[in-house]
Chains A and B, each alone.
Chain A
Amino acid sequence: MAPFLDPLLIVALALNFVALGVSRIRGVINAVALQGILLGILALFVHSEIGIRGILLVGGTICLKGFVIPRFLVHALREANIQHEVTPVVNYMNSILLGAVGTGLAMVFSSTLPLADTHKGLLLVPASLATVWTGFLMLTTRKKAIMQVLGYLLLENGIFLFGLLLLEAMPLLVEVGVLLDLFTGVFVMGIIIHHISREFASISTEHLTELKE
């Protein structure tokens, strides 16, 4: 497709690892936000005749994922007095290595997928799978609720990438729907984070186990 596709995707992939390896929550937020912006730009490159509606939608995506949600999270970080450390369950080094293994597997797996010929050699599919995998890692191996939100964001980024492949078949409208869900999700999580921090004076999800009784 476009000559800039692969380099941009590589940067997006590298941002996955930054998100896994950085120890400050602000760093993770920035990485995820940058990735969101990058993917928005990517969408512009993938299709030459995108139309004014498309540009508006892409602009909205960039705006939401790159600025609104991160701003919102930073705000939550400040309001709920969250510590800046990520507090991983699996340490940074092993998270990165797990991420690398997942990315490698994504590369191998995507070469076996029955893709359309135009999509065969592209990094798009592996990058999408790898980003989804990173999102899962983030969801499962980080303690704080705010990191879960970031995990969801990464997950959404991965799905967005996959959606780029099917741009003709899947209108951007669907993407808008996903985005809306996400935004609501983040909103709800924001409220939950607020409540957790009020109830337990910390936002570690470990405390939620206390609710099982």
Chain B
Amino acid sequence: MNTIIHDSVHVVLAFSLPPLLLGVIAKTKALFAGRVGPPLLQPYYDLFKLFQKGSVYSTTTTWVFRAGAVVGFVSAGIAVLLIPLSGSAAPISFTGDLILFAYLLGLGRFFTASAALDTGSAFEGMGAAREVTFACLAEPAFFLGLLVLAKLSGSLQLSGMLGSSLATHWANAGDSLALVLLSWFIVLLAENSRIPFDDPNTHLELTMIHEVMVLDHGGPAFGMILYGAALKLFVFGALVVRLAVPMTVGSAWLDWPIFVAGLLVVAVVIGVVESTMARLRLTRVPVLLVAACLLSAFAIILLVR
């Protein structure tokens, strides 16, 4: 497959698949609870409906409130172009793109948090505070994992670090990679506010982090936020899949389905975690995140000692 087709497959997948992951998670949880659950494509219907709706803006808000939704979505949308999905390089790939990737998500976080504070609501302030605080601990864990990959691959591009050469490293540095995988999975749960960090299902003030932060958004702006959050889930899910299943069959026609299947498995795993675990007490959340940092830190120490 040549580059153009490859890139277009990447773009199409990256922008069409994310809501499906939410659907799969919801379905898994429903099955665990013995319910039928919403249809797999429900998130798409939700998004479609939201983009058709009118909006209500609080009189307290300014342009920052709208910017929160837009920047959150756009930064996730660019970040998704930086990560490799199957064996070959991502559409945008250059030395140091990993830093841009992490900081793009940071930019989105800054503006979503600012948008929350723009409403002047105590609930949203609380959500924003938690979001940015927990990110402080998730970010080092993520970068420590990147150190491991950079050390192993000798590359500073996400496409090189998570490329097919990673498969050979599972043989000689499997311990480290397993630790990073676990650590990144925790980061995935934290960054996307899933259980045990936050319960995304309550959809009301009872939610602690992300959902409460976007309480005041409605209509198309809320659609953008939901879509952005789904993209973020996709992004982290893709990282985890690339880390866990780096091998390529050789034929792109097989690599893509393998990747998609891996992603769906990740969604199912998230669903299982959400069904079997309770939400952590808020004060215990940092402990888990520090544990994620330590996992990655030991992974790199194992490599360089």
- Interface residues of chain A, those whose CB is within 8 Å of chain B, are 6-7, 10, 13-14, 17, 21, 23, 92-93, 96-97, 100, 103-104, 107, 111, 123
Contacts and interface: CB of A to CB of B under 8 A. Distances in A.
Contact of B301 (A6, A21, A104): A104
Contacts of B46: none
18 contacts: A6-B175, A6-B302, A7-B175, A10-B175, A10-B179, A10-B298, A10-B302, A14-B295, A23-B284, A92-B284, A92-B287, A93-B286, A93-B290, A100-B297, A104-B301, A107-B301, A107-B305, A123-B302
Contacts of B302: 6, 10, 123
Q: Which of B287, B290, B297 has the most CB of A within 10 A?
A: B287
A103 B298 contact: yes
B294 interface: yes
A104 B305 CA distance: 10
Contacts of B179: 10
Contacts of B290: 93, 96-97
Interface of B: 174-175, 178-179, 284, 286-287, 290-291, 294-295, 297-298, 301-302, 305
Contacts of B301: 104, 107
A7 B174 CA distance: 8
Contacts of A96: 287, 290-291, 294
Contacts of A6: 175, 302
A7 B178 contact: yes
B39 to A, nearest CB: 39
Given A17-B291, A103-B298, A111 B305 contact: yes
Contacts of B284: 23, 92
A185 B140 CA distance: 42
List the 4 closest pairs (A to B, CB-CB), nearest first: A100-B294, A92-B287, A21-B287, A6-B175
A186 to B, nearest CB: 28
Contacts of A104: 301
A93 B305 contact: no
A111 B304 CA distance: 12
A111 to B, nearest CB: 6
A82 B63 CA distance: 56
Given A10-B175, A92-B287, A97-B290, 4 more contacts: A13-B298, A17-B294, A92-B284, A107-B305
A10 B182 CA distance: 13
A97 B284 CA distance: 14
Nearest to A111: B305
B136 to A, nearest CB: 13
Contacts of A7: 174-175, 178
A6 B177 CA distance: 13
Contacts of A14: 295
Contacts of B286: 93
